[in-house]
Chain A
Amino acid sequence: MTPQNLFDRISNTTGKATSWLTLAMVILTSIIVVMRYVFDAGLIWMQESVTWMHAAVFMIGAAYTLLHEEHVRVDIFYRKMSERGRAIVDLIGVVLFLLPLCGFLALMAYDFAAAAWSIHETSREPGGLPYPMIPLLKSIVIVMPVAVALQGISMLIRSIKIIRRK
């Protein structure tokens, strides 16, 4: 398996798996509403979990979204370019913007998440989510840029293949 196939497959699998959380959010929010208005019970941890599922969806799904070309582009000119022209834009974009951005964010996030693990951080709300959840979520700030960078490398390989093909 080439690295490109491998990275694409990772993004695809994680994206599809994570997408189930959207359904879970819908169901859980409905339960929260019923609990609140019918049984007059507010469940902080449930509300917090919906928020965090939402965070996991867009962070972990970012690489999958890149694979499926759904991060919007300003395509007034891009859509009129040749396949080769587009590949050149993608190549430069990945090298100049995507990889440095992801590298920088992952690097900065490392200390951020490590601090949360070391102090056993918990939710500030009483009745909120218990320990490992907050440090786990802060670790997603590392996962997202790493996953997007891998998908970016796959994009890079694809662009180079197109440019070389002539």
Chain B
Amino acid sequence: MGFNIIFNSTGIINFAQGEFCMFGGLFTFTFAVTLGLPLPLAIILAIVATALIGGLMERSIVYPLRNASIITAIIATVGASILFKSLGRLFWPKEAYKVPEFSSGNINIPGATVSRQFLWVLGLTVVSVLLVYLFFNHTRAGKAMRACSINRQAASLVGINVSRMSLYSFMLAAALGGVAGLVNAPFASYSIGLFLGIKGFTAAVVGGLGNTFGAVTGGLVLGLLEELIPGFLTVVLGVSTGYKDAVAAILLITVLLLRPQGLLGKGVAEKV
């Protein structure tokens, strides 16, 4: 979803999106464990801190490159991703950090056992989707951002500050990445940002770029496929589950070639 927001308003694919997730998790750890703050406060601080990093990145890297070619922008965000990861290693030298779970234990539903943490993940996802939806459809800033994504020149003509919208969208995307990172924190930590990046992009493309709900649907589809296909592979074909990592990439290419507008997206006529 963060991908979608940035892509919409700036036309840039941000390869450092995965690192925002990393920062989200690591900041939560620092605030909650090292500084001993209560968890809700730590979470809010972590989100704010990640958003600040996103804003900083936009001002220092993306804004100067607003007129540059696609590949220049890609390389710059890749550079940011490498830089962020190294900085992460520098300040948090251990490989994995255990962030306390929001609430431990499992809940027994007839037929299945669900960990409370999973419910939190689900809940936070729903809440953030709802918030983003409300933001984009019912606030001035959100509508302005959507205007920028449709046509930047026209948006600036009606008096929208396009560059500020770009800044906001980076901060928003970083904050969302932070949320994703911190809900994941107890389960996993340091993951390869690029891998996460392609997964996020796949989710966005599968759902249709420029469609907030599409990204969520895409994420769900991708998550399900990633769990189902390896099972299918092992049971039916008897091959190793290591192929799981290729699922996202194969799905991405297939969707791009066969249905480039995404599963939910509307067809777009291209202007020559």
Q: Do A and B come from one complex?
A: no
**Residues of B in contact with A (beta carbons under 8 Å apart):** none
**Residues of A in contact with B (beta carbons under 8 Å apart):** none
